[in-house]
Amino acid sequence: MNKQPERQTFFGGCPHDCPDTCAMIYEVADGKLTQVTGNKEHPMTQGVLCVKLKDYHEHHYNPDRVLYPLKRTGPKGSKQYERISWDEAIKEIRDRWTDIIAKYGSQSIMPYAYLGNEGLVQGLTSGDAFFNRLGSTVNEKTYCGSGSSTAWLLTVGPTGGVDPESFVHARYIVIWACNTISTNLHHWPFVLEAQKRGAKLVVIDSYRSRTAKQADWHIMPKPGTDGALAMGVINAIIQQGLVDQEWVDAHTVGYPELKERAADFSPEYVEKITGVPAGDVAKFAQEFATIKPSVIRLGVALERHHGGGQAVRAACAIPALCGSWRDVGGGLLQMPLWEFPVNWGNVARPDFIKPKTRVVNNLRLGAALTGELDLDPPIMGLYVYNTNPVSQAPETNKIVKGLAREDLFFVTAEHFITDTAKYADIILPATMAGEHDDMMFSWGHFYLTLNEKAIEPRGEAKSNAEIFRLLAEGMGFEDEQFKKSDKELIEHYVQWDAPQMAGKDMEYFRKHGYFHLNVGTADDRLPHAQGNFPTPSGKVEFLLNGAKNFVAPPFRHMYEEMQSGEDVDPLPGYVPPRESADTNEELAKKYPLSILSPKSHGFLNSCYANEPHKIKGQGEQFVLINPKDAAARSIRHGDPVRVFNDRGDFQGLAEVTDDVRDGVIVSTLGYWRSLNRSDGSVNCISSDALCGLGNAPTFSDNLVQVARVN
Ligand SMILES: Nc1nc2c(c(=O)[nH]1)N[C@H]1C(S)=C(S)[C@@H](COP(=O)(O)OP(=O)(O)OC[C@H]3O[C@@H](n4cnc5c(=O)[nH]c(N)nc54)[C@H](O)[C@@H]3O)O[C@H]1N2
Ligand SMILES: Nc1nc2c(c(=O)[nH]1)N[C@H]1C(S)=C(S)[C@@H](COP(=O)(O)OP(=O)(O)OC[C@H]3O[C@@H](n4cnc5c(=O)[nH]c(N)nc54)[C@H](O)[C@@H]3O)O[C@H]1N2
Ligand SMILES: [Mo]
């Protein structure tokens, strides 16, 4: 008689860098992960996983996974490796680092991380404590959300804003620079429900994205001009006498000054800059102010140009002027992250950082490695985890040049030999989410989600936290921090006694898997009807007094006094893009087209972009181009084209469409350059210049030329 294998289930939390942080269920039989599904109980996940995750169990068994520590045997980039033991790997790293530290000092070692894993224990800052203890260079991690966060914190403070589930109560919903159907899928049912109840959906996006196609109204500003659009809307609200004066007088700072600054932004002037018809600017202002509750969902993409931070500040002023915060479902949603009771000090240990330690931003990796930043001491040791910069960071060709340096000792922990990992001297096998314990915060909703280890790691894979424990032991660090197991770290990182936790403990999570923070419910959360903003004044701060630019934790953990940067413009406003046909005529003679490189529907950043069935679903790298621009270059639908500027090039297939305006092209992100038709991907052309606030990237602020490949 066949004995049925015993099935077990475990709670999962999707590890990916995505606002949805889905609650999942791992099914295990005979020690194998047999199925991963969305948790049906969960109000946001609702039992549904996206196209990327729907066969997540199989992802764990991908035959290309790195399962053992590997040591390079061929030239850098050749992908030639031999298997070594963990003992050998740790010893090699210890010996090389010790040697580098003796010769160049500890700051010549640089960690380089991002949110490839989003857990408190295995994620963004899982190595900070170790590297701070080592005395390495501090890595400032601002790929995403840092510019909008700085703008948000300066204007409304660390509030979580509107609960995404409260959107069902809104009657006027604005999705601004966010492609919800691809990038925030589990918010979409709440938007649809609101529409069913009579809400109007407006999408502000520089091209007709999947989400824009579903909108009641699509507003299409030229890339990087949203600051002017927002200032125009502010002016139109004021000019039309639609300001909620009582609320503004009671709960904002600097209205007279904002009014004066906005007065320059007549609808006609705004049309000239943004390409949005003057009448639409006035109409949008009128509708937003009068159809209540009105709410704006700010997408991360709003920050990705020179003036991105200032644009976010201006957009944040709009609901305040209209008194939108008075209603459940009215106001702003950016990243609810700020209300999560995480003890970041325990996670990142900024107290370990020695005074005068330098900071290197992760968007400047190429410049740091190639000597352009003139670092003293130079970077001689690099440790990369949870990120794939050769696909995701700007100016990729410069990064590749840096990684190929013979004298650089480069270690990475990875699932796959990615376009970055292939340059490593040592590759350490990292666990996937079903193989380790973690607790997931979210930047898209208010649930804290447990991820339980469901199966033993494949091969000799180890979790990031365990790898740092081994490295700490190797380096002889005795601190308690490096003795705690992954489960103990969860206990250590969550502020269990915070009011948001409402007395919940690990036992609760082991029973239920997730918990909606005690910050009001979808039907009653009303954080700022009476002001109470967590800013110095307790109000929305249109006007700032002596503010300095900064990068907020968790993107960078430092001493207070090391945070302070350039002066910030006291008022929100429009800062033109560095690269656009209208603002940089000289460059536009050579490179006349603005390029957007948003997220691919079928990949999660560069994850899954090496899996043939996922590539099949997503399709080959495309280049959306307007019929007018295509005709001028004799490009027909389906033609292979080359996109280029002085920084580099990549190739894709032309899709001739009026989903993009003339002067703009769109190619999505994530493709591995080694698997593309030429050795290139979108970040070969993107600039590593930083946005004005929060040191964010400027991926939407780039000019290129396109030519047919013959
Ligand atoms: N399927 C999928 N989902 C993902 C990811 C993924 O790779 N794939 N990545 C995750 C991550 S890390 C993040 S940060 C989020 C990001 O999620 P989103 O914020 O949605 O980011 P993007 O897709 O980059 O850009 C959203 C939209 O902004 C538009 N846009 C770009 N520049 C401008 C501009 O200057 N003005 C205006 N008005 N619009 C502009 C783009 O055309 C795009 O349609 O998605 C997460 N979810
Ligand atoms: N042109 C352009 N570039 C962009 C953007 C854009 O819109 N346009 N968006 C930017 C944004 S918003 C973001 S967030 C960044 C994202 O950029 P990255 O953070 O680099 O994103 P991924 O490509 O997902 O890389 C994550 C890597 O971590 C590995 N990984 C996953 N889990 C673990 C783990 O538990 N342990 C270890 N050791 N490794 C793990 C994965 O295998 C993968 O290779 O890209 C940015 N780059
Ligand atoms: Mo991101």
Taking the C-alpha atoms of residue 58 and residue 141, their distance in angstroms, rounded to an integer, is 30
pLDDT digits 0-9 by tens, 139-163: 999 999 999 999 999 999 999 999 9
What is the whole-number distance in angstroms between the Cα of residue 427 and the centre of ligand 1?
30
**Residue 253: phi, psi to the nearest 5?**
-120, 130
Residue 342 domain-assigned?
no
Question: Hunting for tokens 């999707």 — which residue is that?
Answer: 14
Distance 143 CA to ligand 3 centre (A): 7
CA dihedral angle for residue 319, residue 323, residue 329, residue 335, rounded to 10 degrees:
40
Say which DSSP state 562 is in: G
Verify that 110 and 208 share a domain, yes or no. Answer: no
Residue 687 burial (C-beta neighbours within 10 Å; 0-12, 13-18, 19+):
buried
The answer to whether the CB of 605 is under 6 A from ligand 2 is: yes
CATH number at residue 39: 2.20.25
- Within 8 A by CB and 6+ apart from 463, the residues are 121, 122, 430, 431, 435, 436, 437, 457, 486
Q: Answer yes or no: is the C-beta of 14 below 6 A from any ligand 2 atom.
A: no
Q: Tell me how far the alpha carbon of residue 225 lies from the centroid of ligand 2, in angstroms.
A: 27
CA 400 to centroid of chain Cα atoms: 22
293 and 406 share a domain? Answer: no
Where do the DSSP E strands lie in 69-155? 70-72, 81-83, 109-113, 138-140
Q: Is the CB of 114 under 6 A from ligand 2?
A: yes
Both 295 and 156 in one domain: the answer is yes
The verdict on 409 and 371 lying in the same domain is yes
Q: What residue's CA is closest to ligand 2, atom 44?
A: 388
CA distance linking residue 233 with residue 242, whole number of Å: 11
- Tokens standing for residue 215: 């909108």
pLDDT of 565: 87
Domain C-terminal end among 303, 334, 365: 334
Helix (H, G, I), strand (E, B) or coil at 172: strand
Contact 408, 372 (CB under 8 A): no
d(CA 237, CA 62): 54
Full domain range(s) for residue 139: 70-143+347-516
- Cα(114) to centroid(ligand 2), Å: 6
Helix (H, G, I), strand (E, B) or coil at 255: helix
| DSSP three-state, residue 661 | coil
Residue 539 forms part of a structural domain: no
Same domain, 265 and 319: yes
Please tell me if the CB atom of residue 486 comes closer than 6 angstroms to any atom of ligand 2.
no
Contacts 24+ apart (CB under 8 A), 254-257: 254/541, 254/542, 254/543, 254/544, 254/570, 254/571, 255/542, 257/542, 257/543, 257/570, 257/571
- Asked which of 455, 490, 516 is the last residue of a domain, the reply is 516
Q: Is 352 in the same domain as 236?
A: no
Whether residues 296 and 190 fall in one domain: yes
Digit-coded pLDDT (tens) for 174-220: 999 999 999 999 999 999 999 999 999 999 999 999 999 999 999 99
Q: Which ligand is nearest to the CA of 180?
A: 1
Nearest CA owner, ligand 2 atom 42: 415
The answer to the question of residue 553 being in a domain is no
Q: Which of 461, 484, 516 represents a domain boundary (last residue)?
A: 516
CATH number where 703 lies = 2.40.40.20
Do 74 and 107 lie in a common domain?
yes
pLDDT value, residue 558: 72
- Whether ligand 2 lies within 6 angstroms of the CB of 597 is answered as yes
630 with 704, same domain?
yes
For 390, counting Cβ atoms within 10 Å of its Cβ (0-12 exposed, 13-18 middle, 19+ buried), the class is buried
- Ligand 2 atom with the shortest distance to the CA of 412: 38
DSSP 187-236: GHHHHHHHHHTT-EEEEE-SS--HHHHTSSEEE-PPTT-HHHHHHHHHHH
Q: Which ligand is nearest to the CA of 301?
A: 1
Q: Does ligand 2 come within 6 angstroms of the Cβ of 415?
A: yes
pLDDT, one tens digit per residue, over 598-641 is 999 999 999 999 999 999 999 999 999 999 999 999 999 999 99
SS3 392: helix
- What is the residue with the minimal CA distance to atom 28 of ligand 1? 177
CATH number at residue 498: 3.40.50.740
CA distances from 534 to 228, 256, 539, 572 (A): 27, 22, 8, 19
Prior bond of 553 cis (ω within 30°): no
Give the residue, by CA position, lying nearest to ligand 1 atom 30: 177
Quick one: 210 and 221 in the same domain? Answer: yes
d(CA 81, CA 349): 34
Among the listed residues 123, 143, 136, 120, the one whose alpha carbon sits nearest the alpha carbon of residue 489: 120
315 in any annotated domain: yes
Burial of 315-353, coded b for 16+ CB within 10 Å and e otherwise, reads bbbbbbbbbbbbbbbbbbbbbbbbbbbbebebbbbbebb
Low-confidence ranges of the chain (pLDDT < 70): 1-6, 559-563
Give 156 Cα–ligand 3 centroid separation in angstroms.
22
610 Cβ closer than 6 Å to some ligand 2 atom: no
Q: Are residues 206 and 313 in the same domain?
A: yes
Task: Give how many domains the chain has, as a whole number.
Answer: 4
| Residue 177, in any domain of the structure | yes
Cα 439 to ligand 2 centroid, rounded to whole Å = 19
In a domain, 541, yes or no: no
User: Does residue 28 share a domain with residue 105?
Assistant: no
115 CB within 6 A, ligand 2: yes
* Ligand 1 surroundings by CB, under 6 angstroms: 17-18, 144, 177-179, 182-183, 204-207, 209, 221, 223-224, 226, 299-301, 304-305, 596, 598-601, 603-605, 670, 700
Q: Of all protein residues, whose CA lies closest to atom 12 belonging to ligand 2?
A: 144
Task: Note the pLDDT of residue 4.
Answer: 61
540 inside domain:
no
Nearest CA to ligand 1 atom 17: 183
Q: Determine if ligand 2 sits within 6 Å of the CB of residue 669.
A: yes
Q: Has residue 99 been placed in a domain?
A: yes
Cα(385) to ligand 2 centroid in Å equals 10
